[in-house]
Amino acid sequence: MSAPLPGDRCTRGFIAVCLLAGVLSVILILDYTGYPYPTSGYWIFQLHLRTQDIPAAALLMLLVLAAWLAPAREALARLVEALGRRPWQVAAAAFVLLCLGALSVELNHPVAQDEYAALFQSRAFAAGHLTGRFPPELIPRLIPQEYRNHFLYASGETGAVASAYWPGFALLLTPFAFLGIPWACNAMLAALALVLMADLAVRLSGDVRAAGWALLLALASPQFTASAITYYSMTAHLVANLVFASLLLQAGDRRVFLAGVVGSFALVLHNPLPHALFALPWIVWLARQPAPWRRLAILAAGYAPVALLIGFGWAYVLSGLQGEALHGLFPPDANPLHRALNFLWIWHIKMRTVLADSDTGVLGMRVAELVRLWNWAVPGLLVLAGAGWWLGRRDQRVLLLGLSFACTVAGYFMVGFTQGHGWGARYVHSAWGALPVLGALALVRARGLGCEALERYVAALAALSLIFATALRAVQVHGYVEGRLANRPPFAPGVRQVVLVRHDSRRYTADLVQNDPLLRDKVWFMVGVQADKNAAFMHSRFPDARRVMSDQRGEVWRLE
């Protein structure tokens, strides 16, 4: 009997690792979410792990086995090179499909307040206003109490309302909001990310097949496609970081300056941490070059203007909206010195609250997010990326790309924020583009290592993931969003109405209170309370209103 080929050993080893990781991910989910499950007291991240990731882990293990038997592996491997020669055509097709996904799967609905805040601010910008404007007396009804001065800042005196996040992503959304197609923004950014990943893969490997692998590994990973149909800023972070790395990989002071400009905009997309963690290895690398101060000064010159103007300028604007909620060193008066010192004090407090306490359980939470990182990608993508980084570690460019991903993962272990809503491992998505690129490097080097069979196997595995894993996640996402919207009282679009949403923290119904920043829509969503208090409020504020619907979800009042 002949000895097994080295390539067969590579493939069998890869299959064994994927199956082992799949079993381990299920065990970790069951442990972290407290199996057997309690009937109450869950939070949304645990719910997603239980209901979405356990079925997905089982499916991915089945795909790992099915790919071994796939009859078209050779043809699929040849398709990879064809994809690599047409990155722009692939990106254009992906853009169309992602737009359809945003409308039909995500239902063009900002599920979380992070998404709503960005969309809210972009619509205010598109209308030519710096902030939204609500009637001051209606702010407690139009913004749930737990979200005021958290996701949206609102002035009780003027009625001005603005997103609590830095406005970079809202600015990107603005032209799309102006055209009435905000759902197309992240789809377009994702299409651009595909081209950037393909270009980086070719530049780092010198092989056009690497572009095809990067494209296939990205498109077949539901984390990439699902994030692209939301209103989260993470796809914008992903693109900005890819452009930043691409510019620094090319020689020349002009490109270093442009990298700083791109990086400065990445800092103000919504908060500075995602880009800061990604950029850290590159800045250290520049600092270790001969005569580093000149390059660092050029990079800083690119960073400074946009970061100061948009980032700190926006924070200064918000400080004027918070009023008494702004617990500064001085009273919130018109004195510019007082406002500046209060602003610096508040940012000092914010940076302290970002860091995780020792008793927050952040370690278990971040490990659970890594489980989601595995289960929302092509099976074994992390293994391929690790192999690509190890094989190319002597190339500074490859080393830095891998370190950016590692810094992002490690950095969030010191941050106490919970992921909450979001698909996949949302907090590491800003550096996720490194994974398909590094995975592509591993696969184009597989032939030189006698692992040709692994290429063919991964091509089949990625194709199966593209079809079945994407379909499963689309069903899960659609079902969850549809279920969330079902908690909103039914109303008639196009008719002047006030929808009073009953507050239910277990079902996150406060997230359903979403409105146009200038209240231009015919339907207004407000926080509902007890029926008698709702009636008193409506009759005092809208004397001609009449209640047309009431159930456990809330009430609908028609305005005559």
Query: What token pair was written down for 209?
Result: 């097949």
Q: Reduce the DSSP state of residue 152 to 3 states and report it.
A: strand
* pLDDT, position 369: 93
> Would you say residue 431 lies in a domain?
yes
Q: Which of 404, 88, 100 is nearest to 263 (CA)?
A: 404
> Would you say residue 437 lies in a domain?
yes
Alpha carbons within 13 angstroms on the beta-carbon side of residue 219 total 28
CA gap 153, 505 in Å, rounded: 21
Query: What token pair was written down for 181?
Result: 């197609």
> Would you say residue 533 lies in a domain?
no
Top pLDDT among 251 and 206 is at 206
452 and 360 in a common domain: yes
Most confident of 4-18, 33-47, 151-165: 151-165
* pLDDT, position 365: 87
Neighbours of 104 (CB within 10 A): 12
80 and 227 in a common domain: yes
> If you ran DSSP here, which 8-state letter would residue 3 be given?
P
Least confident of 191-205, 245-259, 263-277, 417-431: 417-431
CA gap 428, 424 in Å, rounded: 9
**Cα angle for residues 329, 330, 336 (degrees, 5° grid):** 120
Arithmetic mean of pLDDT, 309-316: 81
258 and 213 in a common domain: no
Q: Reduce the DSSP state of residue 326 to 3 states and report it.
A: coil
* pLDDT, position 451: 85
* pLDDT, position 255: 94
Domain boundary among 335, 354, 373: 354
63 and 191 in a common domain: yes
Least confident of 35-39, 200-204, 324-328: 324-328
> Is 251's pLDDT higher than 80?
no
* Contact call for residues 440 and 455 (beta carbons, < 8 A): no
**Orientation angle between helical segments 253-267 and 168-179, nearest 10 degrees:** 80
Domain boundary among 430, 459, 484: 484
Arithmetic mean of pLDDT, 329-337: 62
> In the chain, what percentage of residues exceed pLDDT 90?
73
Domain count, the chain: 2
> Would you say residue 301 lies in a domain?
yes
Least confident of 112-116, 311-315, 329-333: 329-333
395 and 296 in a common domain: no
Distances (CA, A) of 454 to 15, 340, 458: 10, 59, 6
* Contact call for residues 499 and 491 (beta carbons, < 8 A): yes
Q: How confident is the model at residue 414 (pLDDT cuts 50, 70, 90)?
A: confident
Q: How confident is the model at residue 352 (pLDDT cuts 50, 70, 90)?
A: low
**Cα angle for residues 263, 264, 268 (degrees, 5° grid):** 110
Q: Reduce the DSSP state of residue 157 to 3 states and report it.
A: coil
* pLDDT, position 131: 95
> Is 364's pLDDT higher than 90?
no
Please write the tens of the pLDDT for every residue from 62-117. Answer: 999 999 887 777 788 788 989 999 999 999 999 999 999 999 999 999 999 999 99
240 and 223 in a common domain: no
Q: How confident is the model at residue 348 (pLDDT cuts 50, 70, 90)?
A: low
Tally of residues, the chain: 560
Q: How confident is the model at residue 4 (pLDDT cuts 50, 70, 90)?
A: very low
Exposure string (b/e) for 181-201, b if CB count within 10 Å is 16 or more?
A: bbbbbbbbbbbbbbbbbbbbb
Please write the tens of the pLDDT for every residue from 376-397. Answer: 999 999 999 999 999 999 999 9
Arithmetic mean of pLDDT, 245-256: 91
> Would you say residue 518 lies in a domain?
no
> Is 53's pLDDT higher than 70?
yes
> Would you say residue 169 lies in a domain?
no
Full residue range of the structural domain in which residue 307 is found: 235-354
369 and 432 in a common domain: yes
> Would you say residue 337 lies in a domain?
yes
Domain boundary among 484, 505, 535: 484
Distances (CA, A) of 245 to 307, 363, 438, 451, 480: 18, 29, 14, 30, 35
> Is 2's pLDDT higher than 60?
no
225 and 253 in a common domain: no
Arithmetic mean of pLDDT, 420-427: 88
Neighbours of 66 (CB within 10 A): 13
Arithmetic mean of pLDDT, 508-516: 95
Kind plus residue range of the DSSP H or E element containing 336: helix 336-354
> Is 312's pLDDT higher than 80?
no
> Is 497's pLDDT higher than 80?
yes
Q: Which of 340, 274, 275, 268 is nearest to 307 (CA)?
A: 268
Q: How confident is the model at residue 342 (pLDDT cuts 50, 70, 90)?
A: low
CA gap 347, 166 in Å, rounded: 13
- Start-to-end CA distance of the chain, whole Å, equals 87
Please write the tens of the pLDDT for every residue from 441-461. Answer: 999 998 788 888 899 999 999
> Would you say residue 513 lies in a domain?
no
Arithmetic mean of pLDDT, 28-32: 92
> Is 320's pLDDT higher than 80?
no
CA gap 434, 245 in Å, rounded: 10
Note the maximum CA span of the chain: 90
Least confident of 177-181, 201-205, 349-353, 479-483: 349-353
64 and 211 in a common domain: yes
Exposure string (b/e) for 249-281, b if CB count within 10 Å is 16 or more?
A: beeeeebbbbbbbbbbbbbbbbbbbbbbbbbeb
371 and 225 in a common domain: yes
372 and 279 in a common domain: no
Query: DSSP string spanning 196-252?
Result: HHHHHHHHHHS-HHHHHHHHHHHHT-HHHHHHTTSS-SHHHHHHHHHHHHHHHTS-S
> Is 210's pLDDT higher than 90?
yes
240 and 214 in a common domain: no
**Cα angle for residues 100, 435, 256 (degrees, 5° grid):** 100
> Is 326's pLDDT higher than 80?
no
> Is 324's pLDDT higher than 70?
no
Least confident of 149-158, 280-289, 295-304: 149-158
> Is 297's pLDDT higher than 80?
yes
